Amino acid sequence: MASFSMSGLGGSGLNIEDMIAQLSVAENKKLNPYLQKQSNYSGQTSSWGKISSALDAVKSNLTKLQDEGFNGVSIGTNKAFNATASKGAIPNSYSVEVEQLAKAHKVGTAAQANNDTQLGDGAGLRKVVISTGEGKPIEVELKDDETSLVQIAKKINAKNGDVTAAVMSAEGGKYQLVLTSKKTGEDGEISISVEGDDKLGKVLNYKQGSSEPISENSAREITPAKNAIISIDGTKMERSTNTITDAIEGITLELREVSEKDPDDATKFKPETLSVTADTSKVKSLIEEFVKVYNNYLNTAATASAYKEPEKGSGGQLAQMNPSNGALFGDGTLRRLTSEMKSAISGSYGDADDLLKSLGSIGISVKFEEAKPGEERSGTLGLLSIDSKKLDEALKNNPNDVEALFLGKGAGQSLKGALEDVFKNYLGDNDSIPKTEGTISTAIKGLKEQGSRVEKQISRMQERIQDSLDRSRKEFQRLDLAMTEMNNMSQQLQSALLGIMG
């Protein structure tokens, strides 16, 4: 029997999912311009964030230099107290005796048989008022089922006032409520009064400053309030706290324990010597840190604005911008910022009679980058380096001039003053220009807004791409159906022809 065939007929053979996948790759290329913009805005935002942090580090260093650096002193170790120095401390020596530590006032109820028994008269609401010195009184309202020691303590502590309450064990398996002032010294003396419940008042009432209980069953003093008593160079003084900040200018005393008794006279205390000596090591370390954070700013700015040779095009195409360029390459704002920073660093400051007026005069100079033949330069220009020996000599022989150079004196200009103008404009760190309105914050805000718009464009484009793919899928499905029907018809014709020829 003769045979007859029609090539290509026998089912559509279309791989719709493969065809859709190929179309999806092609369609998604439409997103590339938007994705590139999104990446650019994100990179610029990140770079400005790093520059802001680097600039803020310079600002913070100068603030620390002013608060701590040129007031640098070292303090010896003492047993009865710990001393720390801040701005205003000057080298000196003091004789200190700690005669008494400040203690917090404690008041407790008489012992009660149970800690959960209601102690009120059951006549409705009553109020407990607790005062500590001149502090704001604590007012606690108690219901009939809230007059046990446990409930009273819970209600007092919920107020988070100037006293804490705790139920403690007492002799004979009994319990007592103990109130402790959060303030040490006589300023924290406790008084308690109950309004609207005489029965509970007999348990809780306590008069401030009373060393004896009103009656056998009323509250009594457990620990008296005591002020700290110290003597400095023979001058005695009392304070309500063991942290004393106003006895010696620039010195904070943390009292630890009462001084030892004088071995030769038990009625006297043995004094300890508080030694405050000049220390230039701290100011030097802060100046070294200044150089470090300033150089870090320059490196950060150089990375953000880096330029690389364009990539050569292939097949006669034009050269393309190098993707390794910094995110802020060509940004005029960053160029101005760096220029203003370098201008401030190279300025001359202080008064006319000062010997040291520039960073170079104290051993801080611009280091020029050296690169061997064939090596690529970093692109960071204007880095600072320190001549440590020259800086030591300046701090030793002319500390006031060095301070005037950095911080100024009188009406004289200073490095800090010049840089503060930069910080004000770019960081927005004062009242006239809020931080949110500084140049950098404004730039970041604009970039985020543009990024948000691009994100919406990407979303709309993705929707259009998906709609296009859905339409293509339906067209392919219709084509597949049509080809299948044609194949079926071809098979029927082929069968008919074979029947005729057979």
Mean pLDDT for the stretch of residues 92-96: 95
Domain boundaries, the chain: 1-72+279-307+322-502, 73-101+227-278, 104-223
**Tens of pLDDT along 428-443?**
865 544 555 788 888 8
What is the C-alpha to C-alpha distance for residues 257 and 105, in angstroms, rounded to an integer? 18
- Cβ-in-10-Å burial (0-12, 13-18, 19+) of 197 comes to buried
What is the C-alpha to C-alpha distance for residues 211 and 93, in angstroms, rounded to an integer? 40
Q: Token pair for residue 454?
A: 């691009």
- SS3 letters for 383-443? CEEECHHHHHHHHHHCHHHHHHHHHCCCCCCCHHHHHHHHHHHHHCCCCCCCHHHCHHHHH
Which pLDDT band, with edges at 50, 70 and 90, does 320 fall under?
low
Nearest alpha carbon to residue 27 among 467, 482, 488: 467
Predicted confidence at residue 176, as pLDDT, reads: 96
Q: Which residues pair with 132 in a beta bridge?
A: 190
Judge whether residue 216 has pLDDT over 80: no
Tell me how many degrees the CA angle 56-57-59 measures, rounded to the nearest 5.
60
**Tens of pLDDT along 111-120?**
999 999 999 9
What is the C-alpha to C-alpha distance for residues 55 and 143, in angstroms, rounded to an integer? 59
Query: In the β-sheet with 126-132, what is the strand arrangement from edge to edge?
Result: 138-142, 126-132, 190-195
Is the overall model pTM greater than 0.75, yes or no? no
Which pLDDT band, with edges at 50, 70 and 90, does 321 fall under?
low
Nearest alpha carbon to residue 338 among 299, 311, 298: 298
The dotted CATH code for 104-223 is: 2.60.40
